Amino acid sequence: MTRPSGGNIMKLENVPTIRDLLDVAPVKHNDRTFIKFIRDEKIIEKKFSEVRSDGLAVCRFLRRNIPERTHIAIISKSTYEYIACMTGILTAGHVAVPIDPDSTASDAAAIINDADATVLIYGEEFSDRLEEVKALCPLLKTAMVISPEKYEKIYEDFSETSEYASLSDINMDPDACCLIIYTSGTTGDKKGVMLSCEALVSNLIFEPYDPIVIRVDTMLSILPLHHIFCFICGYIGPLNVGNCVCLNGEMKDLFKNLLIFKPNQIRVVPLIAQGILARIRGVQAKHPELSPKEAAALVTGGNLDLMLSGGAYLDPALCKAFEPYGILIRQGYGMSEASAKVTLPDPDCPPDSVGRIMSTVDVRIVGGEIQLDTPGMMMGYYKRPEETAEAITEDGWLRTGDIGRVDENRVLYITGRLKNLIILSNGENVSPEGIENRFKANRLVEEVLVYAEKDVIVAEIFPNADFAAQSGITDIKAALEEYTDKLNETALPSHIVAKLIVRDTPLEKTSIGKIKRTHN
């Protein structure tokens, strides 16, 4: 590592590039199937060698048509072409700027402008917003659509036997920025996190013991690839380890695709895990003659035994609820500023933890805050030196903003978020997550958000109507008020919930299912 280190993390040398991973994968993994996806109701399979060839063809196309070190915004659903495009951008030495495909034109334009992107590569589903984006982005010079037909021609015209073959023979600078990824922003403030090529791969390559990742499984990729958690753990990690990645596509197709691809493992946010559990329980209710594992197989395809959760708090009760179905669910911890991975979702760790700290990561607790030293640390926030200085200490540690503790086995526990702390007029600091977690122990609570209003604690709840119906609860508000009173009996005075709001609609969320804290 060339970046100054504040802690005692493992010193890394000869970190491979993404191009290195692509080059060795076909031999290392016996050129088996790497990516599966559905197109025109048929399952398409791509071997490691084909993913390499297609990605490098896009690399040559971009090198032929776009100036060096161009910032390229990419806004598309999680398709195979998206993977080929991202691979091409990163191996060509350009800078990728992924954007949520569900963004409005104004939100997408704000990121394109902030990132100084001059090229936009977009999915066909974004065509209805393209002209508005062009009008809002004066620096944007080129817009290219991602379509299977267009990319098949690129794969052919820029193959390794074409006249452009030498264009992919470049030396990648591992310390150069290759990705500007905008934080999902639960409070609405999106910042561009600059990550180097080395940061993207270092934690994944040099972890000597990862009991979950080293399994060569079939994975169903559910979460959007524009998010760092999914891109690192659902593409770069499997490229190194040899997993087969099945692309889910639309969220509405999740349960259909679980049965088609029959994955061994999936990566989820807690909201998705709750939905899968509810579907399994629904099957059980209709077919009481089935064993728990038989009921689960009718929902998940029969092979699923591992769910890795991230992005939000995972209730230990949810982990317990999956046990009868033979499914282990554990959570890891990471953040965009640390290239997604900080801990391993070790099955031996307590379910109320967020996993075991990776050997390549050093952690310290300062004033209750978790601070990191990691080879995956960001280079900084794009064009935001003041915010970068606030995020990285003078001695080189990344301030996570999370409150927590580490035990003697390097297991990490998260207890709250600094920016979410409620500071009452009497000086008391209240972590809303702690109160929310107590509410989540009740299955009647589907979603909950705790905040302060006029110096009192408010809990806003979206109830689980299905559970209420199954349990014969007719007055949901009264049941929630009774439960709130019960919690208040044992709560600290500063943690008493004085106001309860029962919602008819779900709380507003980010693209990966985090509840937005618009009241903080």
Residue 441 maps to which CATH number? 3.30.300.30
Is the CB of residue 229 less than 8 Å from the CB of residue 242?
no
Question: How many structural domains comprise the chain?
Answer: 3
| Same-domain status, 241 and 365 | yes
β-pairing, 42-47 vs 369-373, is unpaired
| Same-domain status, 346 and 449 | no
Quick check: 200 pLDDT over 80?
Answer: yes
At 249 the pLDDT is 87
Look at 103-117, 203-217, 330-344, 363-377 and tell me which has the smallest mean pLDDT: 203-217
Neighbouring CB atoms inside 10 A of 364's CB total: 14
pLDDT tens digits for range 382-419: 999 999 999 999 999 999 999 999 999 999 999 887 77
| Same-domain status, 101 and 242 | no
Quick one: average pLDDT of 203-219?
Answer: 67
Closest CA to 207 of 370, 345, 311: 345
The helix, strand and coil proportions of the chain, stated in percent and rounded to the nearest 5, come to 35, 25, 40
Tell me the C-alpha distance between 277 and 263, whole Å: 16
Number of residues in the chain:
520
Tell me the C-alpha distance between 345 and 308, whole Å: 7
| Same-domain status, 274 and 328 | yes
Greater model confidence, 459 or 433? 459
| Same-domain status, 27 and 157 | yes
Query: Is 337 within the bounds of a domain?
Result: yes
Instruction: Please state the pTM of the whole predicted model.
Output: 0.85
At 313 the pLDDT is 78
Q: Say how many Å lie between the first and final Cα of the chain, rounded.
A: 38
pLDDT tens digits for range 257-270: 999 999 999 999 88
Closest CA to 505 of 441, 447, 452: 447
| Same-domain status, 352 and 426 | no
pLDDT tens digits for range 79-124: 999 999 999 999 999 999 999 999 999 999 999 999 999 999 999 9
Query: Is 185 within the bounds of a domain?
Result: no
Query: Is 436 within the bounds of a domain?
Result: yes
| Same-domain status, 428 and 407 | no
Q: What Å distances lie between residue 245 and 20, 31, 179, CA to CA?
A: 19, 14, 22
At 215 the pLDDT is 66
Residue 231, H or E segment: helix 228-231
Is the CB of residue 422 less than 8 Å from the CB of residue 429?
yes
Q: Give the residue numbers spanning the domain of 473.
A: 421-502
Q: Which of 129, 151, 172 is the last residue of a domain?
A: 172
Band of the pLDDT at 4, cuts 50, 70, 90? Answer: very low
Look at 115-119, 126-130, 188-192 and tell me which has the smallest mean pLDDT: 188-192
Band of the pLDDT at 510, cuts 50, 70, 90? Answer: confident
Query: Is 406 within the bounds of a domain?
Result: yes
Q: What is the CATH number of the domain that holds 327?
A: 3.40.50.12780
Tell me the C-alpha distance between 409 and 272, whole Å: 30
Greater model confidence, 494 or 14? 494
DSSP state of 397: P
